Amino acid sequence: MAAKTLLLALLAMASSLAMASDPSPLQDFCVADKDSKVLVNGFVCKDPKVRWQPKSSSSLLAMASSLAMASDPSPLQDFCVADKASKVRVNGFVCKDPTVVKAEDFFSTGLDKAGDTGKKLGSNVTAVNVNKIVGLNTLGISMVRIDYAPKGLNAPHTHPRATEILTVIEGQLFVGFVTSNSDNGNRLFTKMLKKGDVFVFPEGLIHFQFNPGHTNTVAIGALSSQNPGTITIANAVFGSKPPISDEVLAKAFQITRMAAKTLLLALLAVASSLAMASDPSPLQDFCVADKASKVLVNGFVCKDPKVVKAEDFFFRGLDKAGDTGKKLGSNVTAVNVNKLAGLNTLGISMVRIDYAPRGLNPPHTHPRATEILTVIEGQLFVGFVTSNSDNGNRLFTKMLKKGDVFVFPQGLIHFQFNPGYTNTVAIGALSSQNPGTITVADAVFGSKPPISDEVLAKAFQVDKKTIDWLQAQF
Ligand SMILES: *[C@@H]1O[C@H](CO)[C@@H](O)[C@H](O)[C@H]1NC(C)=O
Ligand SMILES: *[C@@H]1O[C@H](CO)[C@@H](O)[C@H](O)[C@H]1NC(C)=O
């Protein structure tokens, strides 16, 4: 009886608690500055230039590519023009005093001017984001002009925080994107565009554009973030600072270390781009996925709550090691909404990852999630690569022991490698019911149908024969 009363009292309390959802990231990461006296929702950001990289930064690494992030926060006022002069670091920028805001804050000029396409890839992106128009702060949108010389390529890349919609203004354009590693995954969708055509590249997916013609092409695109970020796959994977170890790259791409070194030296500019928005916030206690329903929505429709059972929130077997016998020596057992229907709308899921000695979870990204991981057994060398901002494509690595915890920010390319002689086990949580995984090597070299060797040869600055050989490995 007393228990019942307590229960009711607790339930009444719980239902009156209002919870704000977490803000979406507006940059690769925003490490909490616990020393700051500035109070905001969450924490202000540490200066990103201060490295929190371990002293024991060793030479070995693994490549990776993972990059995706959530969408921009909704504005809470008419505008919040970025105050670039402020020393306070927040997610995005703090607002300028609205009384001194002028039309110029929402203005930029020169998008009629072609970018110089003289560099080796033959394309040039002119971005008009929050760094060029301070008024874009909190508004969740930005614009680009892209110029392509004949045979010019905008190499495979991803935008961790944005969907892109693009229209051809002049010339012709061959475009494509690759889906994530779901069942039937890494599918390549391509289209030949003419003047006036419009194409969408879903948030976080690896995509490219190529001008197959003999005349210049111009396209105008819009992106659903004030600061979409760009992760060019070749740069992030083969050109990070410091470089990812050739051992890791050789394993990830199933090539010899010598070939990895060659690629490492030769390539540049390829790209990888993949990111998506965060999960919807729940609008009720739960919404268990009704897999039998024919109605298609974002996520799944809800089961009748009256027939929901504890089993809907339950999964058994994460104590069992996955089989690490395949060539990379790692195995991810994912417990997402497909295995645990109760996760629908809740924005979280879990994985167990097993690594044989020298086992690699190759460079990949989760388009819809940040990942937090702890080592249960063994040791793990982990790393992630930032996007192509100034000082971009920086590699952050850390050697983890049992009990250590590491975070891979949403959408960034990351990897884990077991450098030891014993098995390693890690448990991770991801901030999405269905985080998605894009394994860079598979998506770039193993899509169905394959991305043309002409595009890849140009992106990685190697000959077509090398690309054909690489593609044969997947
Ligand atoms: C793009 O074009 C601008 C303007 O011509 C030029 O300053 C810039 O260096 C070019 N960028 C690349 C990557 O070629
Ligand atoms: C992972 O392990 C499971 C269980 O042993 C096995 O069925 C599956 O094929 C493995 N996956 C890979 C990619 O090796």
Beta bridge partners of 208: 176
Q: Residue 425 Cα, ligand 1 centroid: separation in angstroms?
A: 46
Q: Which residues' Cβ are closer than 6 Å to ligand 1?
A: 115-116, 119, 124
Residue 88, Cβ neighbours under 10 Å: how many?
A: 13
Q: Which helix (H) or strand (E) holds 441?
A: helix 440-445
Question: Any alpha helices (H) in 74-217, and if so which ranges?
Answer: none
3-class state of residue 341 by DSSP? helix
Atom nearest to 325 CA in ligand 2: 14
Sheet containing 405-408: order of strands: 330-335, 349-355, 424-430, 371-377, 405-408
Residue 29 exposure: Cα atoms within 13 Å on the Cβ side? 26
323 C-alpha to ligand 2 centroid (Å): 5
Tell me if 38 is assigned to some domain.
no
Known binding residue 454? Answer is no
Q: Do 448 and 327 have their domain in common?
A: no
* Residue 371 annotated in ligand binding: yes
Site to substitute for ligand 2 among 323, 324, 439, most atoms within 8 A of C-beta: 323
Residue nearest to atom 6 of ligand 1 (CA): 116
My answer on whether 403 and 337 are in the same domain is: yes
- Number of helices (H) and strands (E) in the chain: give both, helices first: 7, 20
Q: Flag whether 361 is marked binding.
A: yes
What is the crossing angle of helices 464-472 and 453-460, to 10°?
A: 110
> How far away, in angstroms, is 95 Cα from ligand 2 center?
50
364 is in an annotated binding site: yes
- How does pLDDT run across 74-94, given as a tens digit for each residue? 566 677 889 988 887 777 788
Same domain, 172 and 253: no
**pLDDT at position 355:** 97
| CA 128–ligand 1 middle distance (angstroms) | 14
Same domain assignment for residues 206 and 261? no
**Cβ of 326 below 6 Å from ligand 2:** yes
- pLDDT score of 267: 39
Q: Are residues 459 and 317 in the same domain?
A: no
318 in contact with ligand 2, CB cutoff 6 A: no
pTM: 0.69
Same domain, 242 and 281: no
* Alpha helix positions (H), 220-357: 233-238, 246-252, 257-266
In a domain, 451, yes or no: yes
Helix/strand/coil percent split, the chain, to 5: 15, 30, 55
- Residue range(s) defining the domain that contains residue 467: 443-472
Query: Quick check: CB of 320 below 6 Å from ligand 2?
Result: no
397 Cβ below 6 A of ligand 2: no
Residue 150 resides in a domain: yes
Order of all β-strands in the sheet with 438-439? 395-401, 379-385, 413-417, 360-365, 438-439
363 lies in a domain?
Answer: yes
For residue 75, being part of any structural domain is answered with no
Name the residue at shortest CA distance from atom 8 of ligand 1.
116
For residue 163, the domain's CATH number is 2.60.120.10
Q: Taking the CA atoms of the chain, what radius of gyration do you get in angstroms?
A: 23
Does 136 lie in the same domain as 174? yes
At 344-364, the pLDDT tens digits run 887 788 899 999 999 999 999
Q: What is the tally of structural domains in the chain?
A: 3
Ligand 1, atom nearest to 117 Cα: 14
For residues 440 and 430, what is the distance between their CA atoms, to the nearest angstrom? 19
Which residue is closest in CA terms to ligand 1's atom 11?
A: 124
Name the DSSP letter for residue 112.
T
Phi, psi of 380 (to 5 degrees): -150, 135
Atom of ligand 2 nearest to the CA of 322: 2
Strand partners, 92: 90
140 and 203 housed in the same domain = yes
211 is in an annotated binding site: no
Q: Give pLDDT < 70 ranges for the chain.
A: 1-29, 38-42, 49-77, 182-184, 254-283, 389-391
Query: In 323-431, which ranges are continuous DSSP H helix?
Result: none
Please return the burial class of 423, using the count of CB atoms within 10 Å of its CB with bins 0-12, 13-18 and 19+: middle
Q: Would residue 416 count as lying in a domain?
A: yes
CA of 191 to the centre of ligand 1 (A): 27
Do 382 and 455 lie in one domain? The reply is no
Q: Which atom, in ligand 2's list, is nearest to the CA of 321?
A: 5
Is 178 found in the same domain as 102? yes
Ligand 1 centre to CA of 446 (Å) is 31
Q: Which atom of ligand 1 is nearest to the CA of 114?
A: 5
Does the N-terminal peptide bond of residue 242 adopt cis geometry, omega within 30 degrees of 0? yes
What pLDDT score was predicted for residue 53? 38
| DSSP string for residues in 232-271 | EHHHHHHS-BSPPPHHHHHHHTT--HHHHHHHHHH-----
**CA of 382 relative to ligand 1 center, distance in Å:** 34
Say yes or no: CB of residue 331 within 6 Å of ligand 2. yes
Q: Do residues 352 and 219 share a domain?
A: yes
- Residue 73's pLDDT is 59
**DSSP-assigned letter for residue 109:** -
pLDDT of 442? 86
Q: Is residue 432 part of a domain?
A: yes
Domain-located, residue 73: no
Half-sphere exposure of 370 (CA within 13 A, CB side): 14
The pLDDT score that the predictor gives to residue 95 is 87
Q: Which ligand is nearest to the CA of 354?
A: 2
324-328, Cβ contacts within 8 angstroms, sequence gap of 24 or more: 324/354, 324/355, 324/356, 324/359, 324/423, 325/356, 327/254, 328/251, 328/252, 328/359, 328/360, 328/361, 328/362
